[in-house]
Amino acid sequence: MDSRIQIISQIPLFRGVSRGHLEKIAACATLVRIAKGAVLMEQGAPGRSMIVLLRGQVKIEQGPAASKLSTVAYRGVGDAVGEMSLVDDAPRSARVTAITECQALQIRKEDFQRVVLESPATCLELLKSVMGRLREATEELTAARAETIEAKILRLMQSAPEGEGGVVLLNQTQFSKQVGCSREALNRNLQMLVNTRRLEKLGRGQYRMKNN
């Protein structure tokens, strides 16, 4: 139980929640195993649970339609996915797919809401946490607008899955959407990063970060 409480306490939604209330939330979490390739959450579907990854990695995809999804992020050990579904009724904003075998803690919405309804103090603490998260998101958005394309490329590559020898394979169409620029701008900035020896190009769409 202590290890579950420690993991859950690191999730932004639960920061600031007291130990006693974290114990109640942790008590309704269940351990689940997820097969490689399994879709954990589907964009547009009702949100009925959240997960915290204990092992493995997932990708997050978004798009205007199921046939036009692009990878926008990756999540790994210690990361939470779908946590906002516990406190709102909005449909899932993205598809989440396991790219490796995963192990996770799952908290179902109905179990979580039962805990909150039984304890108004927990509800108040969560409200404060949500407001703090909103404030952080606003600050991050302001910082992201000032971030250069080169900096975005390096930041996103650090979280992308690496193959043998630390090689990252880039789908330029998807990666340009993640960075928020055109393919032409992406290629120009990739080349600048290669020229300044911050990236090493190994082949078409194959790059490795260099430690300077």
What pLDDT, on the 0 to 100 scale, is given for residue 127? Answer: 74
Among 118, 177, 183, 180, which residue's Cα sits nearest to residue 148? Answer: 180
Architecture category of domain 2-144 in CATH: Sandwich (2.60)
Q: Give CA–CA dist 101/61, Å, rounded.
A: 18
What residues does each domain of the chain span?
2-144, 147-209
**Is the CB of residue 61 less than 8 Å from the CB of residue 69?**
yes
What CATH architecture applies to the domain 147-209?
Orthogonal Bundle (1.10)
pLDDT in tens, 104-142: 999 999 998 888 888 777 777 777 766 766 666 666 666
User: For the segment 24-64, what is each residue's pLDDT rounded down to a tens digit?
Assistant: 888 889 999 999 999 999 999 999 999 999 999 999 998 88
Mean pLDDT of the chain: 84
Kindly report, residue by residue over 169-182, the tens digit of the pLDDT: 888 887 888 888 88
Angle at 82 between CA 64 and CA 60, to 5 degrees: 45
Ranges of H-type helices in the chain: 2-9, 19-27, 109-118, 120-146, 149-159, 172-179, 183-195
Please report the pLDDT score of residue 164 as a whole number.
67
Residue 144 pLDDT greater than 60, yes or no: no
pLDDT of residue 109: 92
Q: How many helices (H) and strands (E) does the chain have?
A: 7, 11
Segment 139-149 shows an average pLDDT of 65
Confirm if 166 and 202 have CB atoms less than 8 A apart: no
